[in-house]
Amino acid sequence: MSHTNTEQHIENNTGGELERTPVPKSRFKSWKSFLGMYAGEHAAGTEFMIGPLFLTAGVSAFDLIIGLLLGNLLAVLSWRYLTAEIAVKNRLTLYYQLEKICGKKLVTGYNLANGILFCFLAGSMITVSATAVGVPFDMPMPKLTDTTPNGLTWVIIVILIGAVISIIAARGYDTVTKAANWMSPIIVVAFLACGIVALNQLGVSNFSDFWNIWGEGSEPFPGQIKFTFWHVVIWSWFANGAMHIGMSDLSVFRFADNAKAGWTTAAGMYVGHYMAWIAAALLYAVYLKSPEAQAFLSNGEAPPVAPGPLANKAIGIFGIIAVVLAGWTTANPTIYRAGLAFQAIIPKVSTFWITIIAGGIATIAGLFPAFAMKLLGFVALYGFILAPFGAVIVFEHFFSKKLGIIKNYAEKANLSFNRSVFLAWGISFGLFYFISVQFDVFLSFVTLPAWLMCGVLFLVFSKYFQKS
């Protein structure tokens, strides 16, 4: 799920950030540089949460297995034909590209939203790691319906993990990235091992046994919504909406020698968002058969989704370590990224302290299990808020010439606030958020319409305001 140390890894290996200059040819990287990175990045802490949450949503076998195949393919195509395509033409970071189009003040608002959402995402990963650290202490695990901390042990463990992660993120990024790249294969192997052990525990000996784990699906657990085929497809397509159609990964692919490097995201989608999600769901399927889980269900409560105990039951201490590492390798770069977003707003504060502040916000978020337990909804919201900004870049790139619109208008007209962008985003966000709330429409379903509308409105307003 977390792609955030990819960019930094590439930059560290190429020396320097190149934040405000196009990447020169001497720094280009072949597709091989992206392959391992995407595979490792997307088999991370979030995967341990998302797999089981699909089961709580009562998906059927067909919806999960075929739905994820299709949704992940759509995500890969978005990276290849939109993100990578534009990245190799302009070779700029998302932030700099947005600044040229939107102006500095508007980008500040974007950075603030981005930074806060990153903190919440990192917080949910601290929650994931805490469920593993709590196993030896017999800590009561947060329930699916828990929003607030459930005890003192929980609070202490979360604060300690948050402090360690924040200090490491603030002290230096090289070590974190190196460590993450070493840990990624271990985490991928752990997911695979968990899946195999779980299949064994479920007595699966052939494909129809495997299919029957989900079968025709079930009623969703108390407090969860029912996922159909289209929920799975659309949700998995836009789980990384901010990165592909939202153009965040321009910052990564600007180093690619050509746009074909975009295909490497398939390694992340099919190792992480396919194999790892299904493996994590299998762990939860084993747990659901236990007397403890059955007791919850007979009380009309949803059994807790706590990655630490689930992995521990399957592969023992290796499982606990894998969950801690997975949460860690996701939270660390995410906190670092949040720090960068905040620093763009208050450049005078040192990177160290701004990252500590971001880590503090993430740790406070981590105390509240709601962010992790409602991760399907949170990830949908994250994509819905940030993705439409990417539409502005995409529509300008492909249509500005045809329509006679000035590219990078804020830079050329010396604007700090391009109202065409703000109005396009505000109207599309407001309208589709209203539709989602008023008619109880799943947020991921309105992400694409909001994205398209934002792009079209941006062109219409640009044509109008640039004339005047």
Residue in 324, 2, 305, 375 with CA at minimum distance from that of residue 190: 324
Q: What is the pLDDT of residue 1?
A: 57
Q: Does the pLDDT value for residue 2 go beyond 60? A: no
Joined tokens for residue 405: 């619109």
Average pLDDT estimate for 235-264: 94
Joined tokens for residue 209: 């046994």
DSSP state of 248: T
Q: Which residues, at least 6 apart from 466, have a Cβ–Cβ distance to it below 8 Å?
A: 405, 406, 409, 420
Q: What is the largest CA-CA distance in the chain?
A: 70
Residue in 250, 331, 366, 256 with CA at minimum distance from that of residue 1: 331
Alpha carbons 326 and 322: distance in angstroms, whole number: 6
Residue with tokens 């360690």: 164
Q: Do 337 and 386 contact (CB within 8 A), yes or no?
A: no
Q: Does the pLDDT value for residue 15 go beyond 60? A: no
**% of residues, the chain, pLDDT over 70:** 95
Alpha carbons 59 and 35: distance in angstroms, whole number: 30
* Mean pLDDT for all residues in the chain: 91
Q: What is the pLDDT of residue 12?
A: 47
Q: What is the pLDDT of residue 8?
A: 52
Q: Do 64 and 281 contact (CB within 8 A), yes or no?
A: yes
Q: Which residues, at least 6 apart from 380, have a Cβ–Cβ distance to it below 8 Å?
A: 235, 238, 442, 443, 444, 447
CATH code, 4-388: 1.10.4160.10
pLDDT digits (tens, 9 = 90+) for 407-451: 999 999 999 999 999 999 999 999 999 999 999 999 999 999 999
Joined tokens for residue 347: 């450049």
Hey, which of 191-205, 288-302, 340-354 has the most confident mean pLDDT?
191-205
CA distances from residue 310 to 131, 187, 283, 307, 376 in whole angstroms, order as listed: 9, 15, 6, 5, 19
DSSP state of 189: H
Q: Does the pLDDT value for residue 176 go beyond 70? A: no
Q: What is the pLDDT of residue 344?
A: 81
Alpha carbons 80 and 391: distance in angstroms, whole number: 15
Alpha carbons 333 and 317: distance in angstroms, whole number: 25
Q: Does the pLDDT value for residue 3 go beyond 70? A: no
Q: Does the pLDDT value for residue 83 go beyond 60? A: yes
Instruction: Write down the domain spans for the chain.
Output: 4-388
Residue with tokens 């979030």: 46
Average pLDDT estimate for 205-225: 92
Alpha carbons 358 and 344: distance in angstroms, whole number: 13
CA distances from residue 375 to 4, 68, 120 in whole angstroms, order as listed: 18, 17, 10
Distance of CA 236 to the CA centre of its chain: 11
Higher pLDDT, 153 or 44: 153
Helices 94-102 & 419-438 angle (0-180, nearest 10): 110
Alpha carbons 418 and 164: distance in angstroms, whole number: 40
Average pLDDT estimate for 51-65: 95
Q: What is the pLDDT of residue 396?
A: 97
Q: Do 94 and 82 contact (CB within 8 A), yes or no?
A: no
Q: What is the pLDDT of residue 13?
A: 43
From the CB of residue 128, how many other CB atoms can be counted at a distance below 10 Å? 31
pTM over 0.85: yes
From the CB of residue 138, how many other CB atoms can be counted at a distance below 10 Å? 7
pLDDT digits (tens, 9 = 90+) for 340-399: 889 888 888 888 899 999 999 999 999 999 999 999 999 999 999 999 999 999 999 999
Residue in 322, 263, 260 with CA at minimum distance from that of residue 43: 322
Q: What is the pLDDT of residue 220?
A: 93
Average pLDDT estimate for 291-314: 92
DSSP calls for 387-432: HHHHHHHHHHHHHHHHHTPPTTHHHHTT-S--HHHHHHHHHHHHHH
Give the chain's end-to-end CA distance (angstroms, integer).
43
Helix (H, G, I), strand (E, B) or coil at 357: helix
Q: Which of 14-28, 303-317, 431-445 has the lowest mean pLDDT?
A: 14-28
